[in-house]
Structure 1
Amino acid sequence: MDEISSRILEADSMWLEYEGQKILQNIYIKLQTGHVTGLLGRNGTGKSSLMQMIFGTLRGQSQSVRVDGDYFSHPYQHRGLISYLPQQPFLPAGLRVSDACRLYDVDFTALCHHFEGLEQYGRTRIGDLSTGNRRLVATLLVLLMPVAFTLLDEPFAALSPINVEQMGKAISEQKARKGILVSDHFYEEVLNLADETYLIVPVGRSVLLKNVHLELEQFGYI
């Protein structure tokens, strides 16, 4: 996919609570093409829920997602707009890797461009891959989809250290084509990639970090 003109996604008024317990409130976050945006927060602060709300598969008490000023109630329903990597496996075990590529509109050779070791797995079924390679294929499919924005929840999970480094390079390369939101417990990897970073702090509000490491200490994240 060629480089695309600059686009902006804004999510605000993101409010989520379960049985009266506030998970997210007063959340604002902005993504833009050409940028990697980091999203950090301790376990249970609602990072995954926020991504699902932006994607459109989770409805909160209130939410607003706008792209270039236009409101989208369910962004995932609009072709070419957004992709999302959840933490849990989502590819059918019986699906071959090459067929998964076709479903996600991704060239198999593009996967192999980033990870040459995948060349041997084109006809392999997803369920026959190792845990690390299943996650690797799933992450690459979501990352390489021809969309304007990509949300990555734990893209480094189950990857070896060398694959974490290579995945970081793939994410950096893709930001020329889209806006990318990354959340991961490997926070140093996130910070190395991010052009800007948001931290979700108790209770459920977002802070755009300016002096990143100092503020992460002040908010008790590190």
Structure 2
Amino acid sequence: MKHKLEADGIELFFGARKILGDIYLKCETGSITGLLARNGEGKTCLMNIIYGSLKANSSSVRFDDVTISNAYKRPALLTYLPQFNFIPPSFRLKRIFEDFEIPYDGFEAFFPEFKDRQNVKIKKLSGGHRRLVEVYVTIKSKAQFVMLDEPFSHVMPLHIEKLKTLLEIEKQHKGFLITDHMYHQIITTSDNLYVLTEGKIHLTKSTDDIEKLGYARF
């Protein structure tokens, strides 16, 4: 059975400036929904509104047609990877994987360079490895829906390809909403793709649509 997340009628103003206007977006389990937007267009604001950590001027966020405005209180329903590092720097990898209830050996299998490093504090890792850990545990979390904000930034190309493989595996029973400035990665990863521009959102069908909306040229 497919489950769906819908964000509907979302409007956000900062003072007199409209950031988002009458947004509708749908994400379903079994698929990866991509979101492209330039800096300042409001994509992170949109994710925070869906998550419930930012109050919009108007919004309706529904899971299987049930309105839930504070999804951040429901980790089994929705989890969110922010742009910034969110795991406390003093945590050891063992503690992180235990907290997320995720087996460490599965992580080792994907990324052998982490073999026997369970007792390393995350602050001791390089920036790319630290981000890799955060992305992995978020993707593998128990949540039905997962939002990923800039998951590929600062991650080496080989690891990006492995994360994309992981997303394909995990989407069999989850829904993903993903955004990144590395738009080629988003385009090749996504089953459905939205472009957010000038406060409005557009469901795209091809790279021609993306060009017409002025996001990128191919």
Q: TM-score range by the shorter chain?
A: over 0.9
| Mapped pair 1:197 → 2:193 | yes
Matched residue SS, 2:128 = helix
| Mapped pair 1:208 → 2:203 | yes
| Mapped pair 1:115 → 2:117 | no
The one-letter code of the counterpart of 1:152 is L
2:39 corresponding residue in structure 1: 43
CA deviation string 1:25-64 (max 9, x = no partner): 1111101000000000111111111111111111111111
Q: Displacement, 1:113?
A: 2.9
Distance 1:26 1:118 in 2: 45
1:135 corresponding residue in structure 2: 131
Distance 1:195 1:220 in 2: 21
**Which of 76, 88, 93 matches 2:89?**
93
| Mapped pair 1:221 → 2:215 | yes
Q: After TM superposition, what 4+ stretches of structure 1 lie above 6 angstroms from structure 2?
A: none
Matched residue SS, 2:177 = strand
Q: Displacement, 1:105?
A: 2.2
Which structure 2 residues correspond to residues 64-83 of structure 1 after superposition, within 5 A? 64-83=60-79
| Mapped pair 1:103 → 2:99 | yes
Distance 2:105 2:63 in 1: 31
Q: Displacement, 1:110?
A: 2.5
Aligned pairs, how many? 216
Matched residue SS, 2:143 = coil
CA RMSD in angstroms comes to: 1.1
Q: Does the CA-based 8 Å contact 2:50-2:69 persist in structure 1? A: no
| Mapped pair 1:149 → 2:141 | no
The one-letter code of the counterpart of 1:84 is Y
Q: Displacement, 1:9?
A: 0.5
Distance 2:167 2:160 in 1: 11
Calculate the TM-score normalised by the size of structure 2.
0.96
Q: Where does structure 1 lack aligned partners over 5 or more consecutive residues?
A: none
Q: Displacement, 1:122?
A: 1.0
1:188 corresponding residue in structure 2: 184
The alpha-carbon distance between structure 1 residues 28 and 36, as it changes in their structure 2 partners (threshold 3 A), is: same
Distance 1:125 1:39 in 2: 33
Matched residue SS, 2:41 = coil
Calculate the TM-score normalised by the size of structure 1.
0.94
Distance 1:155 1:176 in 2: 19
Distance 1:155 1:199 in 2: 18
User: How many percent identity over aligned positions?
Assistant: 34
Q: Displacement, 1:121?
A: 2.2
